[in-house]
Amino acid sequence: MSELEIDAVVFDVLGTLVDEPAGIRAGIRGLAPSLDDSEVERLLSVWQEHIEREQRSMVEGARPYRASDVLDLEAARLVADAMGVDDATAVAALAPAARRLPPWPDTVAGLARLAERFPLIGLSNASRSALFGLNAHAGLRWHQALSAEDARSYKPDPAVYRLAVAVSGRPPERLLMVAAHAWDLRAAQQLGLRTAYVARPVGDPPARSDTFDLYADGLADLSEQLERIRG
């Protein structure tokens, strides 16, 4: 593999920079504070499985594209139904839990440190409005934030990664895709982007067959590796 020469860093957001399950758990508990932990986890799975299934369906062409706001509302309805809650107002209040996501402890400082050396691009499956809301809630700062809504698809569709390539104006091999999801990095790799896996408590760990350019314990570790490479 050629030497790692990077002009910009592209970040996945959900799971990589913000704790997506924590935000949704908080929304579920807000709707039903008396639920025990196991029931909250079951309902969280209902939400996540719906999002993953429907996004995959759209990428495969089995369902027309709908923005993440629509999917979040559908997931909130499913969770409310599973709880026996029949209240449209409550469902509408639960759906935005997908925007109120806390950053990981190293996220804000890590982005600031990396931004001193590289242009940073956020690339998320969240809709434009959802991305705006979660960036503001978590305090994420970018040079450019891109939504998969602009490609009318979802990662791992190559069209989404091409958004970052087009905005940067650089060849794919000069961009570093950073994610806590191995599936995300594999898809970016197919388009020629360089890749960095960052370990998080949630996400999709690499398989033994994966060969990413960098493996980091967090954003501080990633920054140190990139600083060493740049000299």
pLDDT tens profile 67-98: 999 999 999 999 999 999 988 999 999 999 99
Per-residue pLDDT for 114 more than 80? yes
Report the domain count for the chain. 2
Give 53: exposed, middle or buried? Use CB within 10 Å, 0-12, 13-18, 19+. Answer: exposed
Angle subtended by helix axes 68-83 and 20-31, to nearest 10:
40
Return the number of other C-beta atoms located less than 10 Å from residue 100's C-beta: 17
pLDDT at residue number 21 = 97
Last-in-domain residue among 63, 98, 133: 98
105 and 165 part of one domain: yes
pLDDT at residue number 210 = 98
Distance between CA 147 and CA 160 in Å, rounded? 8
Mean pLDDT over 9-35 rounds to 96
Mean pLDDT over 41-48 rounds to 97
Per-residue pLDDT for 41 more than 90? yes
Residue 163 sits in a domain whose CATH number is 3.40.50.1000
The answer for residues whose C-beta is within 8 angstroms of residue 148's C-beta and 6 or more apart is 68, 123, 124, 125, 126, 154, 155, 157, 160, 163
Residue 90 lies in a domain: yes
Q: Contact 158/165 with Cβ under 8 angstroms? A: no
Residue 34 lies in a domain: yes
Residue 2 lies in a domain: no
Q: How far is CA 217 from CA 43, 65, 220, in A?
A: 29, 35, 8
107 and 86 part of one domain: no
CA atoms within 13 A on the CB side of 88: 0
Its domain, for residue 67, covers 21-98
Q: Mean pLDDT for the chain?
A: 96
Q: Whose CA is closest to 15, among 120, 116, 138?
A: 138
pTM: 0.96
Last-in-domain residue among 73, 98, 123: 98
pLDDT band at 230 (very low <50, low <70, confident <90, very high): confident
Last-in-domain residue among 34, 69, 98: 98
Per-residue pLDDT for 158 more than 70? yes
* DSSP H/E element including 124: strand 120-124
109 and 128 part of one domain: yes
pLDDT band at 19 (very low <50, low <70, confident <90, very high): very high
pLDDT at residue number 2 = 66
Mean pLDDT over 51-73 rounds to 98
**DSSP character at residue 66:** -
